[in-house]
Amino acid sequence: MITQMKKYTFLVFHRDYDRLLEQLRALGVVHVTLKQEGMADDESLQESLNRQAEVQRLLRQGAPDQLLQERQAVEERIQATRQEADRMRIWGNFSRERMQQLSEAGYTLSFYTCPKQKYEEPFGIIVAEQGSTCYFVHVNHGEPVSLPDYCQPQTLNEKSSADLEKDIDGLQGLLAAADARIEAWQKTQISVLERELEDLRHQIDWKRVNLSTDSLAEGSLRLMEGFCPIDQVEALNAMLDQEQVYYEAVDPAKEDQTPIKLRNNWFVRLFEPLTGMYGWPNYNEFDPTPILGPFFLLFFAMCIGDCGYGLMLTLIGYLIYKGKLKIEMFDGLGGIIMALGVGSTIVGYLMGTFFGINLFQAAWFPEGAKAIMLNQLGDGTTGKIGEYDVMMVLAILIGVVHLILAMTIKAISYTRRDGFKATVSTWGWLLLIVGGIATMIVSMLFSLPTDVTKWTLIGIGAVSALGIFVFNTPGRNPLINIGAGLWDTYGMTTGLLGDVLSYIRLYALGLAGGMLGAAFNQLGTQVFGDTPGIGSWVGFILIVTFGHVLNLLMACLGAFVHPLRLSFVEYFKNAGYEGSGKLYQPFKK
């Protein structure tokens, strides 16, 4: 739900302005209306913003550029030296002094590589063979000897691989010293920067409020606007009356950029980050979270489709929530992961799958526990309705309910915002779809006479047609209305059909995850064999563990993306949700 707001206008003498701001910031309930005019031209504000960005960058990096560059330079030297040591290792730990002595005695040592199959004895002394390459030393005394072109000359480092390893040990000491300097900087500066960042935020907020306040009567009066939640109005009014500030409190107008403050229970609040991913509602819109949350949970659970995976998600969510498991990208999301895990456990059990095992077909699973599984539904408890799986039919039915709910919300919210006359067509489509479906269901359940069903459908169709084709835009030429209604019919028919079919993905993803889990179980069972030994046990555990972890990760990815798409595209489109609002951010310390 969206909390009601009051729009305030404050008029204060310029000498009392700073004191009023201090009082407002101390109370912390007023969202001041900020104006963009003059923000970019104010040098003081821009300096504070630049410094804020610099402090945030330093805190994010964990050290100044100079210290990080020094450390990076040492790391690059270690990497280059290690590569050179690896290259030289194949030539052995030679002595440069002995090579110099041989050179003084008239012997020249040249180093080459060539393909192993082309090496011939006169080329020199083989040092090593690696793969298809031969490494050799050519010793010459007197005139140089020419070797074939496929013998590639090599340049050796002044140091052997052993000497280079010693250099790496020295560089590791430099790296440790660089890390120590960074750690010392962090111990002394991080807390200082965090306090500075907090001060900068206060300064920036203060300056923005100042720049958003109008000066009147040659600067002697200051005029400011803001919004306050309805449940905080009493405290704000008491403070303003005590300070003898002139103010006016009214209900926000339609054209006002009123901030929104969501007010939901603990369960719905878990899903508010999903709403924020698309965009927060406008003040005159509905809060989609109470609908988005339960349906997203249901969609996610259907895509996972395995109660074993649900139990794993519940455990992971609990460990994150309790701080026992630290995963930065999931920080603060332990509650929603637990909720998704519990939902997946329940739906997975109803679908009869546990880590890829079909519980409904398992002889060891109690028959009484199978009674509520969805495989019991359908023709002769086959898990099928006609030729279609129960889960496929269920996915489509859930999609129909989801879209009807979206259209109902759209009709109500548009009527509240624009009036009934402007939404006649929307109500016409809602009556046609909901009325038609309801009539058919009642007719089948209660065996209504054919004539009653026929005339009820005709009546619904006639009333709907008037709203869709004739009165869709009151006051306009009826012929133009009919044309607009025909175009709307084409768009609605093709769009709704595609939207409903989109929900089949819930069935497909759950089916794919279950089949892949069963495949890993079967592969592990084949490795296990009839007479398992230690190797069979190890292979079975590795295959099953790796397979199910991989399957769980892929299932979670699909179970997040596709339900989010169904919510953001199919649902929000049919609900007329815009999501262009801004959150309530009070001016406070």
Residue pLDDT, tens place only, 506-538: 888 888 888 888 888 888 888 877 777 788 888
In this model, does residue 380 exceed pLDDT 70?
A: no
pLDDT band at residue 296 under the 50/70/90 scheme: very high
| Residue 249: its H or E element | strand 246-250
pLDDT for 361: 79
Residue pLDDT, tens place only, 311-362: 999 999 999 988 888 887 888 888 999 999 999 999 998 888 888 888 887 8
Residue pLDDT, tens place only, 193-206: 999 999 999 998 88
pLDDT for 289: 92
In this model, does residue 381 exceed pLDDT 60?
A: no
> Can you tell me whether residue 209 is helix, strand or coil?
helix
In this model, does residue 227 exceed pLDDT 90?
A: yes
Cβ contacts of residue 571 below 8 Å, gap of 6+?
288, 291, 292, 295, 402, 403, 406, 577
pLDDT for 529: 77
pLDDT for 475: 65
The C-alpha angle with vertex 396 and arms to 394 and 397, in degrees rounded to 5, equals 65
* CA–CA dist 525, 540 (Å, integer): 7
In this model, does residue 412 exceed pLDDT 90?
A: no
Mean pLDDT of 385-408: 85
In this model, does residue 123 exceed pLDDT 90?
A: no
In this model, does residue 401 exceed pLDDT 80?
A: yes
Query: Which pTM was predicted?
Result: 0.76
Highest mean pLDDT, choosing among 11-20, 289-298, 366-375, 379-388: 289-298
Establish how many alpha carbons lie within 13 A of residue 494's alpha carbon, considering only the half-sphere containing its beta carbon: 5
Q: Within 10 Å of residue 50's Cβ, how many Cβ atoms? A: 10
Q: pLDDT exceeding 90 applies to what percent of the chain?
A: 34
* CA–CA dist 520, 514 (Å, integer): 10
Domains in the chain: boundaries: 5-64+181-250, 82-168, 266-386+504-575, 394-500
pLDDT for 339: 93
In this model, does residue 377 exceed pLDDT 60?
A: yes
Residues linked to residue 31 through DSSP beta bridges, in sequence order: 227
pLDDT for 382: 55
pLDDT for 378: 60
